[in-house]
Structure 1
Amino acid sequence: MTILDMEIPKKKLFEDPGFPASSTSLFSNYSTPIAKFRSKITWLRPQEISRSPRLFPENPQDGKIKQGLLGDCWFLCACEALRKNRQLLDKVIPPDQDLWTQSGYLRCRFWKFGQWVEVIIDDRLPCISRRLCFSRCRSEEVFWLPLLEKAYAKLHGCYEKLWAGQVCEALVDITGGLADRWTLKCYRENNEKNSHFCLSEKSKFELMKDLNDKSFISCSVHGSAKGSSERAEFHAFSVTDVKQVNGLNGTYVNLLKIRNMWDRQCWNGSWQAGGDGWKTLDPAITTALQSAAEDGEFWVEEHEFFQDFDELTVGYPINMEGHILSLLTGKSLRHTLQLSGQWVKGLSAGGCRNNSSFCANPKFWLRILDPGEVVLTILQKKHDSSNRNDKACWSEKAAMHCQNIEEDLTTDVRQQKRYRAIGLHVWKVEKKRFNLQKTVAKTPTISTECHTYDREVKLHCDLTPGYYLVIPSTFMKDEDGHFLLRAFSTSKISLSVVKATHPFTQLEENSEGEWEIMQFTDSWISGKSAGGSRNFPTYSTNPHLPFSILSETGIGNVRITLCQESVDGQFLPIGFHVYQAHGKNLNQASPQLLQPVVACVPHRYIQEMTQLCTLPTGNYEIIPSTYLPNSEAQFTVTVETKIDRKPFQSQENLGQTINEVSYTSVMQRSKNKSCLRTGRYFKESASLHTVMDKEPINLLLL
């Protein structure tokens, strides 16, 4: 046998042992309608499905999203945000992976509880009859969407765990930012304010019109509506356009273009094809609008929209620098901080203000240095309820709508998630040392209206300079849980943990004192902000991060940490210098000519480097850098400043012990004994003596 006669072995493609091509990656308990297809599902690679597979399309229309058999419209709607923001898409699916078909694996990234995590998958995808059975792009030669869906399924444990969810949660997972849900029913009834913030100056439609090109908007329905019998229940849609057009007789008509992820028409209201609504427009305008609606898209008039849709989800815009923008003002919330915390049973799980143990909850100092717009959020980790008997189950009718299945199903569609009812209270404190008992007895400066079973709750407000006491809590006491406190502001802020002793114990002096924390997240971008070290003339283009020392607190009063994100598992050589700014700002033109007051060098191939230093009162700037110019990476700089405030004792007694009362709102069970998971709210009255029940929320979307 000659060499020519020998069969040359093919390179083995990657097979992910952590997420194999088997039922364990598809199902958790066979509780959803996709279980009936388990014997028909096979796993194929893109080159076995398409003749010319590619990750991204040349024509953007070919990359449009289509939903398959899986009830994950909530995730797919959020993926529309990636199609509108290429910079964000590159964050989630790092570029330079065009050769993935030759290796068989792909890298994706998701934001999870405060940090970006990388998920590596192989490219074997679930198929039925050699076609993708879950999500796909309009062109079946484009695979960015089904591969990203697989990575998200791996992050959650399996595909079945993606069945039903909230668009706002998926938006946060793929952007690392913020998203708001607006309940439209309370506006129809015109008797309640939105629980997050009040739109006093702009109508909801005007705000959507302003945000249309900057952000992502989704709408959803929770049940059948008059005039839309073909529309599924518990389903999410994306809002693709918002327009105000001239009507006949000098009137204006406000229209929204809605897209169904099933890529088919599902609307028979007055603005359906041939509907009476079009008669109010000039025929030329009608033709232009109808031709702009592609498969699965339909137009709805403003009044009809607010009448028939139940909920709106809006993602906070993200600018080219990666900073989150305010939904209301458009200002950059460029100062961001986050701290993790924990509610521990019997120690720091004090419950809501109805409980005398409220002050046992974790406490934080928020310091506002300049007047500004602030968003505070508490994000909780999912609580495992797999062994509990109080799981909520899903509407079988909703499941059948989502897959267009006609026959009855006997398996309950069980909810995969459980969260605590959480809330957030903030008080402004005029002095560094104060009476905790008197403070929490007062009305908070700002607080959530009620405790809700959301993964994340938010406060959106304008705050004046000073110190604020922030207390996150669960509604019931002694509920364990981990949470992440996040702060976004247009002005400089600091965030630190209040170090307090255990209740009913003697206050002890902490020799280390307290530290305020300021955190900056930024990037070195080639040709813009990746100037390299002081050896290079482009050094001044590196990011300049300002901070201030307001009081003398002794030796070792500042700790600075630079942490970089890895690129393909590799680290760049990094370092930083600190300069004193004698005026308002450092000389941006030639900082390398100045003498730094702190130099954390030489540049090292390391993920994180820390320098403890002593700095007098004044204004300073940190310039982090890579050794060579045009080296790209994202980084975080944390500045910890020792302060002279002593910790205080957290012993607190609100007086009379108030019994906890809770009411659970449960939807009426359907004929087959299935019920819809409801989100419960608990509202605290001003007197702290009454617990009010509100309408169920958190209906998960299929």
Structure 2
Amino acid sequence: MPEKVCKFQGQCYHKLKRSCLRRGALFQDPFFPPSAESLFYKRTPPPGLMWKRPRVRETDCELIQFGLDVWFCSGQELLAHPRSLAWMRVIPDHAEQEWHPKRPDLYAGIFHFRFWRLGQWTDVVVDDRLPVSEDGALLFCRSATPREFWSALLEKAYAKLNGCYEALEGGNTAEALVDFTGGISEPLNLNQEELIQHADQRKMLFQTLAHAHSHKALITCSIRQVESVLDCGLIKGHAYGVTAFKKLRMSETLNGMCTATRLHMVRMRNPWGTADWTGVWSLGSPQWQQLSRREREKMGLVVRDVGEFWMEFEDFCRYFTDMVVCRLAEKSLLWPQTHWREVCCQGAWTYRQIDRRSRCGGCINHRDTFLYNPQFLFELTGDGAEVLICLQQEDKRMKRREGSGENLPIGFEVLRVEVNRVCRVQCLYEQAASSVYMDSRSVTLRVTLGPGRYIILPTTFLPGATGRFLLRFFSHSHVRLRELKEELPAPSLWQCCFPEPSAVTTVHLLKASGLSHPKQTAPDVYAVIRCEEDSVRTTIFKKDGSPEFNTKAIFYSRNPKSKISIENGNLLEQPGVMCFAQG
């Protein structure tokens, strides 16, 4: 099923283009005019600034060409492959938007791009009027080839979405990758000292990155600190794209170059189009000179695009300090199990005068109000799973012109709750995981959890802060994520005839012992916890005489004196059975 696309400011690209073609006029965007307000909200435009259209003649203009110098440098890797799925999402109808030399009458000076924002794709329409300086050069993003304008048009659409060009300042690679792909960006801080000293950690990181790249993840890396050039040619404060990983066996040719039995290589790309690296395996280095072109192709050590270069992964770990891995997820039932599967929920931190109806209780430090926050339930079966949880708040750059637009410090807690819970928690439970709190647009946590039910509480750091958010949950299996809104479970039809619950009891079944004689084979066992008409059954433990149940259950009873029983399958009458529980 096609994804729903939101039309930014209600503009429909196809209707607007048809109207322009009928009138024989080039499109002029009324919502993003060629004015100072479209450029800056604080600064004054430079003298001599003009807005100009590309010269639309066959010999002068090539709108859809690549070799980009995109300011949000992660985007150049995304758009470097014109037939990729992500390329077609960001630039829909790319063939229809192209300049056709034989049909100049079909050109209307209108383009559209799509960006992913808070759970949906947003279609942004722009005209082709671009800001240029007094000497005629593009003021902002420009391509290395003067006749290419695609990157500048893409940047203009992104600026329109965010209010103006100045609002784009202070963005980061992780956010740009999410906006271009709808994927999940996971920032990684590289511990250079540990990676250099421990080859096993370096190997594990290489395998993780190579696996992610093989599943279409987009990867960028950078060297922390302000922009400056290192002796090895790499640039601090500059984002590079990672385009390939290779693990090579040492051949006779390579044995003289390296003492290791295997060579781990990574291919980088500088979006500026220059190969900066001057170390081992750099362009013109002795390592390349000892390999023929045929040997390079056979080993897969090829350079595909301008600005690409190879380096050993050990050197990579020695210099680079930060990485962003943007993984693509899918909601399709046919998506391979090796890929991440996504479920998501929209939510909001809201404030009301009646405290318990507020949904902005602040972080767990504020214990009196923490549980007022929105609560989302999910369940893991089997042996548990590794999951990736991302909390993303509404982008506020559009509001910078008004003097606001700052991100809220956000984070989330994961609580392990009873296996039969269906309503909001009222007291603190076992803390299974916790994210950091940051004033960034999104916060991500990767964690391995055991089987059971869990509650995610997305929060702002301080109580009373309001705003919209998107909670995204990624796993390799089918997981349902839903918000809990009721304080008590809804009664069934037949329960409506009985009094409302008057007592709430939580039982924590820890373990059992003595389920088999020492000389006998232990049976398959499970436990059943009962209270009035409700019951909870644990999983089956195969041939285990002392099972660790570690199961929590909650019961809402009409009679405070109702008994709670724990039955151990069909072995209840077996002598020596002991169950340990907390209530």
TM-score under structure 1 length normalisation:
0.55
Q: Answer whether contact 1:228 1:266 (CA < 8 A) is retained.
A: no
Q: State yes or no: 1:256 paired with 2:266.
A: yes
Task: Give the Cα separation in 2 of the matches to 1:336 and 1:431.
Answer: 21
Match of 2:502 in 1: none
Deviation, structure 1 residue 485: 1.2
Match of 1:151 in 2: 157
Match of 2:90 in 1: 92
User: Where do residues 191-230 of structure 1 align in structure 2 (5 Å cutoff)?
Assistant: 203-213=204-214, 214-223=216-225, 227-228=230-231
Per-residue CA shift, 1:603-623, capped at 9, x if unaligned?
xxxxxxxxxxxxxxxxxxxxx
Distance 1:106 1:458, change over 3 A: same
Per-residue CA shift, 1:616-644, capped at 9, x if unaligned?
xxxxxxxxxxxxxxxxxxxxxxxxxxxx9
Distance 1:359 1:482, change over 3 A: same
Task: Give the Cα separation in 2 of the matches to 1:225 and 1:98.
Answer: 39
Deviation, structure 1 residue 311: 0.7
Match of 1:652 in 2: none
Q: Which has the higher contact order (CA 8 A, sep 6+)?
A: 1
Structure 2 residue matching 1:204: 3-state secondary structure: helix
Distance 1:553 1:177, change over 3 A: farther
Deviation, structure 1 residue 553: 9.5
Q: Answer whether contact 1:278 1:286 (CA < 8 A) is retained.
A: no
The one-letter code matched in structure 1 to 2:338 is K
Q: State yes or no: 1:22 paired with 2:45.
A: no
Which of 71, 74, 77 aligns to 2:74? It is 77
Which of 362, 367, 374 aligns to 1:362? It is 374
Distance 1:478 1:320, change over 3 A: closer
Which of 295, 306, 317 aligns to 1:306? It is 317
Which of 386, 392, 403 aligns to 1:379? It is 392
Q: State yes or no: 1:65 paired with 2:49.
A: no
User: Where do residues 461-476 of structure 1 align in structure 2 (5 Å cutoff)?
Assistant: 461-463=447-449, 466-476=452-462
Distance 1:495 1:435, change over 3 A: closer
Structure 2 residue matching 1:13: 3-state secondary structure: coil
User: Where do residues 354-503 of structure 1 align in structure 2 (5 Å cutoff)?
Assistant: 354-356=365-367, 357-368=369-380, 373-382=386-395, 386=400, 418-432=407-421, 436=425, 439-440=428-429, 442=430, 444-448=431-435, 450-463=436-449, 466-500=452-486
The one-letter code matched in structure 2 to 1:220 is S
Q: Answer whether contact 1:43 1:124 (CA < 8 A) is retained.
A: yes
Q: State yes or no: 1:46 paired with 2:54.
A: yes
Task: Give the Cα separation in 2 of the matches to 1:125 and 1:305.
Answer: 38
Match of 2:328 in 1: 317
The one-letter code matched in structure 1 to 2:221 is C
Q: Answer whether contact 2:330 2:340 (CA < 8 A) is retained.
A: no
Distance 1:480 1:188, change over 3 A: farther
Task: Give the Cα separation in 2 of the matches to 1:132 and 1:30.
Answer: 18
Deviation, structure 1 residue 238: 0.9
User: Where do residues 682-693 of structure 1 align in structure 2 (5 Å cutoff)?
Assistant: none
Deviation, structure 1 residue 118: 1.4
The one-letter code matched in structure 2 to 1:348 is R
Structure 1 residue matching 2:96: 3-state secondary structure: coil
Q: Answer whether contact 1:372 1:464 (CA < 8 A) is retained.
A: yes
Per-residue CA shift, 1:218-276, capped at 9, x if unaligned?
11122278944754432211112222343324733322222222222433434444557
Distance 1:278 1:473, change over 3 A: same
Q: State yes or no: 1:170 paired with 2:167.
A: no
Per-residue CA shift, 1:318-360, capped at 9, x if unaligned?
57969888xxxx7233452323221548733322222223222
Aligned positions, number: 448
Bigger mean CA deviation after superposition, 369-378 or 83-92: 369-378
Distance 1:89 1:459, change over 3 A: same
Match of 1:234 in 2: 237
Deviation, structure 1 residue 111: 1.1
Deviation, structure 1 residue 434: 8.7
Q: Answer whether contact 1:16 1:122 (CA < 8 A) is retained.
A: yes
- Flag the structure with larger Rg: 2
Per-residue CA shift, 1:162-201, capped at 9, x if unaligned?
23422111111121121111111x353469xxxxxxx989
The one-letter code matched in structure 2 to 1:221 is I
Structure 2: stretches of 5+ with no match in the other structure: 1-21, 100-105, 497-553, 557-583
Which of 261, 271, 296 aligns to 2:307? It is 296
Q: State yes or no: 1:108 paired with 2:106.
A: no
Q: Answer whether contact 1:248 1:282 (CA < 8 A) is retained.
A: no
Deviation, structure 1 residue 438: 5.5
Deviation, structure 1 residue 554: 11
The one-letter code matched in structure 2 to 1:296 is G
Task: Give the Cα separation in 1 of the matches to 2:331 and 2:131.
Answer: 36
Q: Answer whether contact 2:413 2:458 (CA < 8 A) is retained.
A: yes
Structure 1 residue matching 2:25: 3-state secondary structure: coil
Task: Give the Cα separation in 2 of the matches to 1:553 and 1:276.
Answer: 83
Distance 1:476 1:318, change over 3 A: closer
The one-letter code matched in structure 1 to 2:180 is I
Distance 1:16 1:435, change over 3 A: closer
Per-residue CA shift, 1:444-471, capped at 9, x if unaligned?
22332x3233322223345565432111
Deviation, structure 1 residue 365: 1.8
Match of 1:336 in 2: 343
Per-residue CA shift, 1:53-110, capped at 9, x if unaligned?
34434xxxxx12224xxxx3xx231342243462222222221533676222112211
TM-score under structure 2 length normalisation:
0.65
Task: Give the Cα separation in 2 of the matches to 1:645 and 1:47.
Answer: 73
The one-letter code matched in structure 1 to 2:77 is E
Distance 1:303 1:77, change over 3 A: same
Task: Give the Cα separation in 2 of the matches to 1:66 and 1:435.
Answer: 50
Per-residue CA shift, 1:558-606, capped at 9, x if unaligned?
xxxxxxxxxxxxxxxxxxxxxxxxxxxxxxxxxxxxxxxxxxxxxxxxx
Note the aligned Cα RMSD (angstroms).
Answer: 4.1
The one-letter code matched in structure 1 to 2:61 is P
Structure 1 residue matching 2:176: 3-state secondary structure: helix
Deviation, structure 1 residue 152: 0.7
Indicate the percent of aligned positions where both proteins have the same amino acid. Answer: 28
Distance 1:231 1:39, change over 3 A: farther
Structure 1 residue matching 2:481: 3-state secondary structure: strand
Task: Give the Cα separation in 1 of the matches to 2:480 and 2:333.
Answer: 20
Match of 2:5 in 1: none
Structure 1 residue matching 2:55: 3-state secondary structure: helix
Match of 1:60 in 2: none
